[in-house]
Amino acid sequence: MTRAKRASERREDSLSRERIVDAAIELLDEAGEEGLTFRALAARLATGSGAIYWHITNKDELLAAASDVVVHRALAEVDDHASPRKAIHGIAMGVFEMVDAHPWVGAELDRHPQPIATLRILERIGRQVQALGAPRGAQFTAATVLGSHILSESRQNAANGRLYHPPPDRADFLETLAARWEELDPDEFPFTRSVADQLRHHDDHAEFLAGVDLILAGISVSSTGARDVPRKPKR
Amino acid sequence: MTRAKRASERREDSLSRERIVDAAIELLDEAGEEGLTFRALAARLATGSGAIYWHITNKDELLAAASDVVVHRALAEVDDHASPRKAIHGIAMGVFEMVDAHPWVGAELDRHPQPIATLRILERIGRQVQALGAPRGAQFTAATVLGSHILSESRQNAANGRLYHPPPDRADFLETLAARWEELDPDEFPFTRSVADQLRHHDDHAEFLAGVDLILAGISVSSTGARDVPRKPKR
DNA sequence: ACCTGAACACCGTTCAAGT
DNA sequence: ACCTGAACACCGTTCAAGT
């Protein structure tokens, strides 16, 4: 056993699922989703493209594994021990910054339904929803809504960041966006036009957390409303 | 002018952006995202693949145009004239069913940030948020949160529906999902495991609208809180 | 102006052949 | 058991040549 282990580690440059996934993450971070090809990956690992298939089923599995690693690492750094509201803010910001640093994760997380990485996020949010005292039947809804807000907003932010190369000045970007919205047809887009100007003073982080708090407010209303109902009805 | 118009309509099988987009929608509905290739599209339109490029810039633009048409049609059938809450439910269900019928739209809508189709949805929701009396500064947040919930949940539902071929019995699918969640590591996934059993009696539509109402509750709290603040402060 | 279809520069994946 | 790299069956996109 010790011998077997030593044997597999003897050449630390030998191929392994872990090394492949790490190299894939590097490639994704450097060159984006289109930068991850089996040929480029094989070149980086100094092997043939076919070798990768001995360790990994296909590209989908590779992307899922890469996402899982990145999400896992990001969540490991989030501190849960504050109040539920603060902990949820912490999780939200952790995910936000993780997707900002690895934009491809955002796309991957909802390409497929419920990959393990998404469950990890749901789990961490759900624990805080429980701590918040939400009734049992409402916890799933609450966690899901929080999760989809966090992921959507994170993805949106990351996508905006990578839209142009090189990334323009933040204020310029918002100005361009606001101007575009203001050019929309007044008959078709009255609401969108009416909020366009707010984009000019848009604070991503503040807006993001305001959304989280809006949902938290909804949760606390639902909780108080339903808390009177005993789990096992008396009659 | 009449002559020019007649000339362009003389052969109703001549290529046009509109015909290309319609054919693309057909192909996407029949064969999914991977079914849309320029070769297949050209075959269906009885032309060469290069001809399409005279009318459309590239595949991204084609997907965006196809999504816009489908979203536009779906929203046109939604009735806005009920109470704001009912109208928002109507928009939500309209989007939900549209994505269920055209699963590829769900993926497309958040592949790129703010394509026109997403703005259409935001617009319709935003009008109702205004009607709800949300304060000016909170409208954007409220509409965004509602929009991301609606799109996430719709996409999730559609993705689940297409996961297996042929689609299994609904109850079987939920049972499988619940069982998988219950097999997760108890130390890593206590919350997820604790709600797994609820999946067995999961009602998609009810859960979806419960999420919408949760957010609406949050909006009304924020609104009452802020409504006292006059738009133009007196001092 | 608009269409044709071969050609280009790629992909993911497979597989006989090696060690 | 694990790796190699050529080969297969595709893609999106371009472009000279046609009408």
H-helix segments, chain B: 2-10, 17-31, 38-44, 49-55, 59-76, 84-101, 103-109, 116-131, 136-161, 170-182, 190-196, 204-227
Q: Is the pLDDT of residue A156 over 80?
A: yes
Tokens found for residue A140: 């799933």
Q: Is the pLDDT of residue A226 over 70?
A: no
User: Looking at the partner chain, which of A112, A126, A195 has a beta carbon nearest the beta carbon of B195?
Assistant: A126
Give residue A225's pLDDT. 54
**Closest CA relative to residue A137, chosen from B197, B148, B179:** B197
Give residue A2's pLDDT. 36
Count of Cβ atoms closer than 10 Å to residue B167 Cβ: 12
The answer to whether A19 and A66 are in contact (CB under 8 A) is no
Among A20-34, A128-142, B6-20, B139-153, where is mean pLDDT lowest? B6-20
CB proximity B49–strand D (7 Å threshold): yes
The domain ranges of chain A are 3-56, 79-228
Give residue A221's pLDDT. 86
pLDDT band at B102 (very low <50, low <70, confident <90, very high): very high
What's the average model confidence in pLDDT over B219-223? 85
Q: How far apart are CA B140 and CA B124, in angstroms?
A: 12
CB contact under 8 A, B126 and A195: yes
Distances (CA, A) of A64 to A67, A111, A157, B178, B183: 5, 10, 21, 21, 19
Distance A223 CA to C8 C1' (A): 62
CB proximity A46–strand D (7 Å threshold): yes
pLDDT band at B96 (very low <50, low <70, confident <90, very high): very high
Q: How far apart are CA B22 and CA B66, in angstroms?
A: 7
Burial B181-220 (b: 16+ CB within 10 A, else e): beebeeeebebbbbbbebbeeeebeeebbbbbbbbbbbbb
CB contact under 8 A, B119 and A192: yes
Nearest nucleotide over every DNA/RNA strand to the B61 CA, judged by C1': D12
Question: Which residue would you say has higher pLDDT here, B47 or A114?
Answer: B47
Give residue B160's pLDDT. 80
Distance B69 CA to C2 C1' (A): 25
Q: Where is B229: in which H helix or E strand?
A: none
Q: Is the pLDDT of residue A123 over 60?
A: yes
List of chain B residues whose C-beta atoms are within 8 Å of the C-beta of residue A148: 148-149, 152-153
Choosing among 1.10.10.60, 3.30.450.30, 2.30.38.10, 3.40.50.1240, the CATH entry for B3-56 is 1.10.10.60
Q: How far is CA A85 from the centre of its chain?
A: 19
Q: How far apart are CA B190 and CA B193, in angstroms?
A: 5
Tell me the per-residue pLDDT of B155-210, one tens digit each, with 9 for 90 and over: 988 888 765 656 677 888 899 999 999 999 999 999 999 999 999 998 889 999 99
Q: Is the pLDDT of residue A193 over 70?
A: yes
Give residue A162's pLDDT. 67
Tell me the per-residue pLDDT of A93-122, one tens digit each, with 9 for 90 and over: 999 999 999 999 998 987 777 788 999 999
Give residue B165's pLDDT. 57
CB contact under 8 A, B140 and A189: no
Chain B, 176-215: which have a CB under 8 Å from a chain A CB? 177, 181, 184, 188-192, 194-195, 198, 207, 210-211, 214-215
Give residue B213's pLDDT. 97
What's the average model confidence in pLDDT over A184-190? 96
pLDDT band at A160 (very low <50, low <70, confident <90, very high): confident
Q: Is the pLDDT of residue B233 over 80?
A: no
User: Looking at the partner chain, which of A119, A129, A215 has a beta carbon nearest the beta carbon of B218?
Assistant: A215
Query: Where do we find the tokens 């339109």?
Result: B45
Query: Where do we find the tokens 């009008």?
Result: B127
H-helix segments, B162-233: 170-182, 190-196, 204-227
Which amino acid does the sequence have at A143? Answer: A
pLDDT band at A89 (very low <50, low <70, confident <90, very high): very high
Tokens found for residue A53: 């298939």
Give residue A231's pLDDT. 40
Q: Is the pLDDT of residue A3 over 80?
A: no
Average confidence score pLDDT of chain B = 87
Distance A40 CA to C16 C1' (A): 23
Tell me the per-residue pLDDT of A205-218, one tens digit each, with 9 for 90 and over: 999 999 999 999 99
- Give A123 to chain B, closest Cα distance, Å: 6
What's the average model confidence in pLDDT over A15-22? 96
Give residue B70's pLDDT. 97
Query: Where do we find the tokens 């849309």?
Result: B36
What's the average model confidence in pLDDT over B120-147? 96
A143 touches chain B (CB under 8 A): yes
Q: What share of chain B is helix, strand, coil (3-state, %, to 5)?
A: 75, 0, 25
DSSP state of A113: S
- Give A7 to chain B, closest Cα distance, Å: 30
Nearest nucleotide over every DNA/RNA strand to the B52 CA, judged by C1': C3
3-class secondary-structure state, position B13 = coil
User: Looking at the partner chain, which of B127, B129, B217 has a beta carbon nearest the beta carbon of A222?
Assistant: B217
Question: What is the DSSP track for A198-212?
Answer: GGGG--HHHHHHHHH
Domain B79-228: give its CATH architecture. Orthogonal Bundle (1.10)
Give residue A1's pLDDT. 36
The answer to whether A172 and A202 are in contact (CB under 8 A) is no
Distance A48 CA to C17 C1' (A): 14
**Which residues neighbour strand C (beta carbon < 7 Å)?**
A 36-40, 49-50, 53, 58-60; B 14-15, 46-51, 53-55
Cis amide linkage into residue B103, ω under 30° from 0? no
Which amino acid does the sequence have at B92? Answer: A
Give residue B9's pLDDT. 40
Give residue A10's pLDDT. 38
CA max distance for chain B = 75
